[in-house]
Amino acid sequence: RSNIDPRLLKIEMELNSIEAIKNAVQSGLGAAFISVSAIEKELKLGVLKRVMVENVVVKRTLSLILNPNRYRSKASEIFIAEILPKLSTMNANLEFLNPLAPDIPPEVAASSARSIS
């Protein structure tokens, strides 16, 4: 848990896309929590700056999404069956799979929504 009381944050807007968030911050409308991978280009160009906030842990829920009507390659099946479970057990506090579809092997699908920092 962080020491930030969400009631003390002055949330002025909610935006529906990463591009909208980046544009708002670049325009000086405020700050945002966003994935570093989403702003790599802006960081290299120097139009956005990454600020580390001490004693704050940001968690986000990630989901594995699949199209049940599409062919899954051998590589994707291996990723689902072998790699994802290893990632989910790296740290007992890091949970990141949602139950998705009945055709996903039970060892991959978790029983509850999980978060990753």
Q: Model-level pTM?
A: 0.51
Sequence-separated (6 or more) residues with CB below 8 Å from residue 96 = 61, 62, 87, 88, 114, 115, 116
Q: What is the pLDDT of residues 11-25, one digit of tens each?
A: 788 899 999 999 999
The pLDDT assigned to 1 comes to: 52
Residue 21, Cβ density class (10 Å: 0-12 exposed, 13-18 middle, ≥19 buried): buried
Annotated domain spans of the chain: 6-45, 59-117
Q: What is the pLDDT of residues 78-88, one digit of tens each?
A: 888 887 777 76
Position 11, amino acid: I
Highest mean pLDDT among 47-51, 80-84, 98-102, 106-110: 47-51
Written as six digits, the tokens of 4 are 């930030």
Sequence-separated (6 or more) residues with CB below 8 Å from residue 28 = none
Written as six digits, the tokens of 43 are 């960081």
The pLDDT assigned to 43 comes to: 95
